[in-house]
Amino acid sequence: MDIEPNETQALVARTARDFAERVIAPVASELDRTERYPREILQGLADLGLMGVNVPASLGGAEAGPVSYALAMMEIARACASTAVLMAVTNMVGEVIARFGSEAQRATYNPRLCSGEYPAGSFALSEPEAGSDPGSMRTTAERTSKGWVIRGQKQWITSGSYAGVYVVWARTGGPGTRGLSAFLVEGGTPGLIPGKPEDKLGLRASNTVPLTFDDCVVPEDALLGNEGEGFRIAMMALDGGRIGIASQAIGIATAALDRATEYAKQRKQFGKPIGEFQALQWTLADCRTELDAARLLALRAAWLKESKKPFSAEAAMAKLYASETANRVCQKALQLHGGYGYVREYGVERHLRDVRVTTIYEGTSEVQRLVIARNATR
């Protein structure tokens, strides 16, 4: 694995950084405060090729690879974590369709996701009673003369009010994970009912809603992959998604640490900048070291994926370590600000609120430990 990015990877990272600094960062606090869905920003990301980083060029994507995607995600999350998760889910949906979709599905949906014609894609796996345990899923899809009829509920669906296409998991067979299949459902399909947006601690500009499928009829060819293949599709998607969330966590924590470092240079107590006190210097040193280690874990997992080598355990390690490290770093960054860290004006509290969910979604820390242990002992 090369530590230094190649020309393409460096270009993607620079492009993302420039857009994040010019366009996203100046409005990030306002987006958080108003909970406004950043439609125009997502279009800007699409125009730069960042809504289909891993999607083949023939389908409208950038075809820049997983390492480029991880680097871009770090830069976008550094500016706005809400925007980053919207980008992450749309990239994951596009990659799933490009890999498992039929020729017609790829031709229909990938160009629309990559170009921004669709504001976003949604990944509808979790349910009120089925989070870490997809085998207990209750949503069903029944084959009829009209097509597939989907009935059930989904929970925690990013971009659920705005997506142009949803990847929806439902039970088509018996109990457990072998009875699951995946479907592509277009936004606006009768019977697909987005619920009230969740009032979240963080990521407040990212739309998160429950979905109800009330006799939602989709065509026979809406099936993604083969019947009964849904669990395999979901797990392969989540492996890649964990690289994205690790990168998001790193970006958030980098922003918090940048603020803390600058504050330590400016804030004076006892006649000198607080950054000259050894206790705070050690805190900053530990944060920077741990964050760099997390970054290398994320890039290793991305490189393995790009090299078409097994990466499931490495993605879980990256997600586990990056998310937990990022939470510690953001906590310490706020503490270093003292009372000023507790108010919105200084911005660091937003990073702490945003980073909290990274140990939960795309598989909790506990699930990541299970994945790592099972890979080690099988």
**pLDDT per residue as tens digits for the range 140-185:** 999 999 999 999 999 999 999 999 999 999 999 999 999 999 999 9
pLDDT average, residue stretch 285-293: 99
- CA 264/CA 187 separation, integer angstroms: 48
Task: Name 225's Cβ contacts closer than 8 Å, sequence gap at least 6.
Answer: 100, 101, 181, 182, 232, 233
Q: Which tokens belong to 115?
A: 């170009």
List domains and CATH numbers for the chain: 7-119 (1.10.540.10), 122-228 (2.40.110.10), 232-377 (1.20.140.10)
> Does position 2 have pLDDT exceeding 90, yes or no?
no
Tell me, yes or no, if 220 is annotated catalytic: no
Q: 223 - beta bridge partners?
A: 183
Tokens of 236: 């392969």
pLDDT, tens digit, 9 for 90 and up, residues 337-364: 999 999 999 999 999 999 999 999 999 9
Residue listed under structure tokens 């072998």: 178
- Residues of the chain with pLDDT > 70, as a percent, come to 100
What pLDDT is attached to residue 81?
Answer: 99
Per the CB < 8 A criterion, the answer to whether 364 and 319 are in contact is: no
Confidence band of 211 (pLDDT split at 50, 70, 90)? very high
Per-residue b or e along 282-292, where b marks 16 or more CB atoms closer than 10 Å to that residue's CB = ebbeebeebbe
SS3 355: helix
What pTM was estimated for this model as a whole? Answer: 0.96
Query: In this model, does residue 301 exceed pLDDT 90?
Result: yes
Which residues lie across from 99 on neighbouring strands?
none
pLDDT band at 3 (very low <50, low <70, confident <90, very high): confident
Give 193's pLDDT tier (boundaries 50, 70, 90). very high
Q: Mean pLDDT, to the nearest integer, of 185-211?
A: 98
Answer yes or no: are the C-beta atoms of 36 and 30 closer than 8 Å: yes
Determine which one of 21, 314, 362, 366 is catalytic: 362
Q: What percent of the chain has pLDDT over 90?
A: 98
pLDDT given for residue 200 in this prediction: 98
Instruction: Check pLDDT > 90 for residue 1.
Output: no
For residue 248, pLDDT beyond 90: yes
Cα gap 97→109, rounded to integer Å: 8
Q: Is the pLDDT of residue 378 over 90?
A: no
pLDDT of residue 266: 96
Rounded to whole angstroms, the Cα distance separating 64 from 57 reads: 9
